Amino acid sequence: MATLSVVVITRNEQDNLGPCLESVPFADEIVIVDDESEDATLQIARRYTDRVFHRKLDRFGRQKQFAIEQATCDWILVLDADERLTPELAEEIRAALQQDDRAVDGYFMRRRTWLHGQAVTFSGWYKCCHLRLFRSGRARYVDRRVHEYPELEDASRSAKLLHPIEHYTYASDAAFVAKLERYSRLAALDWYDAGRRAHWLTAPWYFAIVPAAAWIREYVVQKGYRGGRIGLRIATMSARADLMTARQLWRLKRISRPRRAGSV
């Protein structure tokens, strides 16, 4: 059977890392890349592996690319610390490794997020599939600060697994707001690098149309309404994320504006 490296990047994940790694007991190797954790994350990581690396996070895409480059097995499974494999998904992955289909270089899978004790099996949060399991050397992460993802060398050489990853996120509303603040700043920098600018002419687009479109997409097009109050909350969170990113993009315009001659 082909060998498997499980790769996780961490920062202050003492509450999540143990259950995450417990869900992959069949891994031949575990690789942890830590970003200056100040809690017990490193002590927990070393209970499972001696393959622990230290790297200051600059961009999530670069951090995960560095992490997969440390893996030495045939296949790589990338997990976030707040994710788990179900027994069904674990068995499905083991079967794929045993088969080691030479026509497939990567497997996509869904992610089932738990929010306020409810499993989200509706809206774009569940429908979107993620490339998480891929053959070593056949995928590379895009160079983004946030919302990073790997791309296969040949996108046609992929398949989909049936069972989802379990995702336990947002332990509290305060944690959600803090994460949203951080991610919106990073996303705005990616927008800025891509040539997007927020000014008086584009303000209606970024501050009204984009957030409204995100809400409609999540709640109507991707049928978030089927989730009742949770579906409404997800749609509102998506719109809020785009609005906060627009605000950060507007601030970047002000920060980067060249000063006039003679100004202090």
Q: pTM score, two decimals?
A: 0.89
Q: What is the pLDDT along the chain (264 residues), one digit of tens a residue?
A: 899 999 999 999 999 999 999 999 999 999 999 999 999 999 999 999 999 999 999 999 999 999 999 999 999 999 999 999 999 999 999 999 999 999 999 999 999 999 878 889 888 888 889 999 999 999 999 999 999 999 999 999 999 999 999 999 876 667 777 888 889 999 999 999 999 999 889 999 999 999 999 999 999 999 999 988 889 988 998 999 999 999 999 998 766 554 444 333
Q: Cα separation of 155 and 40, whole Å?
A: 39
Conformation bin of residue 134: beta by default, left when phi > 0, alpha when psi is -120 to 50: beta
Q: Cα separation of 7 and 54, whole Å?
A: 13
- Six token digits for residue 53: 């690396």
pLDDT at 177: 77
Tokens 């719109």 appear where? 239
Domains of the chain: residue spans and CATH? 4-168 (3.90.550.10), 173-256 (no CATH)
pLDDT at 258: 47
